[in-house]
Structure 1
């Protein structure tokens, strides 16, 4: 019987824009429509950053509220995972939409790191900054997520970030089942290789679920590695604009379709939304705002 694996779709991010890929959604309705396409193709979790209508990042509650309403109208019982990542934004503004909207899950960066994009052709760095996430901020975000009954999806860009969870587990602030994302291929973080993924997975505690998030064109190799290891994975236009054959993707749905094709070649099937909730022990929050 084929194994059931969970596909997350990262719909938009904050950096990619329509000059790079015409399929990047900006408005709440566009994000919801891309979410619908991803679900119909086989995704069960939507990872979402808010955008302004002109494509610039948005961090205010009202922007997330519009997205929340639109996604729930078009995507039903899908598992919603909102971002809390940001550079130079006060910690209260990075988490206030989680407190207000109480999504199923929220991304939580588990450590600080250098972050840059390097151009080999031009031999220079772009988007060169330090992404600061000290323990005091991580602890604050976890406390707010616990108050909102929101599952933290721990985004780990390197092996040390995995270990950063251990004192928070010891304090009782992080509670099982734990949710780890191995983000691989970002300059400043761990390179995207199968060997590194195997090492990462060996570091996580029991009572934990994991997914791999490959950044850039190596994403598809990491998807294949995750499938063969029985792990979950994320695809979508936030992480990679290209299909396995090198063509530009037209939509998040197309990204998920190609992932499902790969799964079926390797005797796996995408978990439905209901199956994903059962696997992750993530009940539907019937009384959450805007349900």
Structure 2
């Protein structure tokens, strides 16, 4: 039988990666969805933390977080992110992945959040793109925008991440985003092993095909970690494809509201339960928080343990 590596909490050796283990991440709310669309979308720090706990209890090792004002509108306030971190840490030790995405060129609030809250992971959008949603029924666009992510903007965020000891999760909506990481590695701003998220099924990005994932994983540097983010319909099929190809997976209300049955999910925990079951059904198993931390090359972000096993 193949010898399994021992997880020690130290940054991983890419050559010892056990592909039977899958890191499950849950994206709790996103920035656009509202309770009019899905009643389970969390808004307040307490609601977000409760959803993080449900995801953790269902088997997620990490949660991806966008901050909201209490009325559900988006905010980039460092103080709100800090409150979210505190509320989550009172409930569970799940790995925190903070969003840094913004349409603005000014990323000062995002950089302040990174330096003050020091999340273990932060999502980093890797290229400019059309970001749109089209309605076939109405023959019109629900929204149509340009999502600007220049190298100057990316470099500012990377500088703050490196200062905070935060691992960048490289969000790539298309192959050019993945290929375009090499100058940042050459400059020393990105340090291998890299962590990629391949987003599929966003209009303006790569389509939700198995071949899309195969191409993206050929382009990324050897030894990188990757996950699939399947947006809207077809998400469960793309998670299945990633599991077969040896990738990690992300689920959650940011990406898709519905269970495979077509029923709207009542919590992020319900979506995580399905993802974890899929992991086990293909002969893999979900990573624990400690295993995910090593697989992703995290350094624990200086997080201490609080009473009851949660990190403070």
2: distance between equivalents of 1:88 and 1:287?
Answer: 30
Change (3 A) 1:229 1:96: same
Establish whether residue 35 from structure 1 lines up as the match of residue 33 from structure 2.
no
Work out the CA distance in 2 between the residues paired with 1:156 and 1:196.
Answer: 12
The CA distance in 1 between the partners of 2:293 and 2:106, in whole Å, is: 32
SS of equivalent to 2:87: helix
Give the aligned partner of residue 84 of structure 2: 67
For 2:258, the equivalent position in structure 1 comes to 242
Q: Which residue of 1 aligns with 2:73?
A: 56
Q: Report SS of the residue matched to 1:17.
A: coil
> Unaligned 5+ residue runs, structure 2?
2-18, 305-310
In structure 2, do the counterparts of structure 1 residues 228 and 119 end up closer, same or farther at CA, with 3 Å as the change threshold? same
Q: Distance in 2 between matches of 1:186 and 1:203?
A: 20
Shift of 1:89: 6.0
Q: How many angstroms does 1:87 deviate by?
A: 1.7
Structure with a larger share of its residues in strand: 1
SS of corresponding position for 2:205: coil
State the alpha-carbon separation in 1 of the partners of residues 32 and 38 from structure 2.
Answer: 11
CA RMSD of aligned residues (A): 1.4
Aligned to 1:270: 286
Q: CA deviation at 1:4?
A: 1.2
| 1:287 CA displacement | 5.5
Decide whether the 8 Å contact of 2:52 with 2:88 is kept in 1: yes
Structure 1 runs, 4 residues or longer, greater than 6 Å off: none
Distance 1:198 1:207 in 2: 15
Aligned residues: 289
Cα distance in 2 for partners of 1:152, 1:279 equals 14
2:59·2:273 contact (CA, 8 Å) conserved in 1? yes
Please, which runs of 5 or more residues in structure 1 have no aligned partner?
none
**Residue in structure 2 matched with residue 7 of structure 1 by the alignment:** 24
| Matching of residue 186 in structure 1 with residue 202 in structure 2 | yes
1:101 alignment partner in structure 2 = 117
Q: Residue 112 of structure 1 corresponds to which residue in structure 2?
A: 128
Aligned to 1:197: 213
239-248 vs 104-113, greater mean Cα deviation: 239-248
Query: In structure 2, how many angstroms separate the alpha carbons of the residues matched to 1:90 and 1:162?
Result: 23
Residue 189 of structure 2 aligns with which residue? 173
